[in-house]
Amino acid sequence: MTKKIRIADIPDFDAAEYLDSEQAIAEYLTVVLSENDAPLLAAALGDIARARGMTDIAAASGLTREALYKALRPDAQPRFETISRVCTALGVKLVAQPLHS
Q: What is the pTM of this model?
A: 0.83
**Residue 1 scores a pLDDT above 70:** no
Selection from 2, 1, 15 nearest residue 45 by Cα: 15
> What per-residue confidence (pLDDT) applies to 6?
86
Phi and psi at residue 39, in whole multiples of 5°? -60, -35
Dump pLDDT digits (tens) for 46-69.
999 999 999 999 999 999 999 999
> What per-residue confidence (pLDDT) applies to 12?
86
**What's the chain's Rg over C-alpha atoms?**
16
Q: Which residues, 6 or more positions from 48, have their beta carbon under 8 angstroms from its beta carbon?
A: 16, 19, 25, 28, 29, 90, 92
Dump pLDDT digits (tens) for 66-89.
999 999 998 888 999 999 999 999
